Structure 1
């Protein structure tokens, strides 16, 4: 009897045996995923992990039983459902057959080659039976490479047939658009696919190479006796050990050159040299990484060594007689690197220790570098060019883009709209010019002067602006020491020279005196006193003129009243002829001055029978202009013709 319970008993109802010790009743997994799709699979073990017996049905038998329908007594049997249709673009998606091939191209016009071999790849796309031919691109080949035949169905013959994957095999020739391709091999996927479809593949062939390309690929043999110097040992010994020297590059002989500080690095691992510039803040230079990149520097070249082209080829050991080594660098000496002379004035502590241990050098006294004082170039101010003011000419010398002169931010707002006005005359040898009068305006906000000529009727001279607002320099003023006219220089009777013309100040506005008195500390005492005397005398003249005008008006009014009274009295004397009286007086006045002697005037009145009365005598007294002179014209007004 078997040790397992229930083994050997027939599987009949009532004969089933249940193991009371069994605790696991899980079922084996029959579902799985492959490439993202759910698939069914046979169970590996039974319920609870029991082994499956071989007499169980397989998956194929189970599928057949599931599709079997019971046979009907009457009527035909039902057919099983056909399998699901899968289109070609789904079944063969991204499945490509790849073949390695080549074609031969003749080269008729080259003496070095007769034919050329082109290696290509032929791709066959199973989803739509299309093909493409691609030649791998080789750099600097001077050949038109890349896609030779675009992807499409390639015609096979003139009967409208196209190439199929059944027509492709290894070791055969296929002709596409007049060019014959030799297929030599394929990839593993293509081999498996064709063999699965019952196609017997030919053995692979070797890919031929272009003879011209292979000839040029052959390395040129150079038999050079190897050196006994072990570069690997030098690298392992001196790796990351660098000698540092502090040097100065004197470039003052070139245009815009100067003395530049540099650092020279000598790498002991491979005997290379690097030069770096030391930059300072605001030195006006772009911080380039290196002045001379890290490389081996030649010290002496082989004489009469002809190389072509030397301007583009790198220097080799055959052209250099001696390279720079650590022995060629020392503190206090100059060394020339690629045409630049560097003076080494100091080094770091590691470099001192290396030279002391290696070469026994102990003298490392740093050299004091004294910078050459820059030559001070005197700034020459050009003469005034006549445009604008003198400060405008200076701005053209101070910067490439001239800027307007700075204004006095305190003086300008305080003296805005404050103008001192003077009356000036032109000093000239011509009498006509001396009679001209001008108005000179001095603007206190910016110390500018303008001159205006008032228009005089019937003078024959057109007035208007004589000088626009500008600063006027004094005689003897230079560009280095410019002196301009100030309010203290403008006094009554002083002479001002304006661009070659001389003007004399004859009068001033009362505002000038008020301004000078309010700012007496800014003006000399003599200037202020002369201005006060001028205005005092002018006021006295004005007052005298006013009194004379008032007397004249009173006399005229009295004269008019007496003439009216005399005319009333003379109406009683009808024998008087007024016309004869006027002609007699005019004939006696030979020079036409309008004044006659009193005695002559009296005798003339008696000869003309002019009556005498108190009113008439009073008129004669009023017409007298002196002790013995009488203005007869005012007297004749009483005798109208």
Structure 2
């Protein structure tokens, strides 16, 4: 400290030196700004760097890099030269990417050959939606030649456009190079060749946003389905204790196209506006494969029958002008409205066309002249069409069509399927059962069978 305080005036920098250097030249690290930065292990130039005479070579910068201009470490340290190539590799590492296994991924990379050390660096620039590890592959490595004939490692004299180079077991295609590399190789008598077109990566192509097909002018007003659809339904109610005859009832059905739910409000005289069915997904009749499906918004149109919880209702027409225009566009003008035919409602929906005969038919039955211990018990009778056997079980008191304890099991019989219908009496041993009701799918099949017999 004593020595530093006793510094003479001759040791201090003059005003001319300070104007030229901006700081004390004897302490060059004092207030020197850092012009470089590291990002993911790579060195980049900071934004708006000062002009420095130490980096005059234009080939030492890579334009268009999202992180800033990439500065080669070799140029920054010793001012050496390097060759720059744009290469690509094709591999089959796409088994988990949803592509065809025969398709090849194309990876775009940048190869640097350092002339002072005859080493190679490989770098993969970032690409959106690539799904691959990107960045530095290796740095300043001597790449051994596969044949090991002549020079043991890769030399710059072997690099030219349009050839494949083997870098640690992976082949890379040299497609492009910068102007400095081209001038350097041509100056040493090497025919560099023309730039090649780099193929597109099929994975990146599949990730691009596809353009929608153009819609005709007539369909542009209804490209999407309306939010709500309104229909009118007709139902011929069965005679009950409230009214002795069959009641004609009308409903307004609202279809919510977003989640395919429906709700029904009654329009029958005297019951206008009452909620008949709250908003719910409407189940279809269980199909022959036993799968429960639901109605969708595009299933509804005038002139069809729908099942509303075992109630066969007929879609009469549209209840709004927007629904009418939509139906006319989708199904034609004749499908917009249908006249109510009460005789058609009385007959019910047409029978289902059965291609294959069902394996079993099920009935609800009563025992005639039962013993006191079996009085008041209802039974479920199942006839196997293939094995010609009959099973009789007790019916649950709380859940209809739920099978309880077995009464008769696998009884072989000579009866045919035509002898099983509502109202028939079936004798099994000393017991006699009267069929009083058919299960839903069995009733559909019996209706189809009657229609087929009438057609004959």
The normalised TM-score by structure 1 is: 0.27
Query: Which has more radius of gyration?
Result: 1
More strand per residue: 1 or 2? 2
Higher relative contact order (CA 8 A, sep 6+): 2
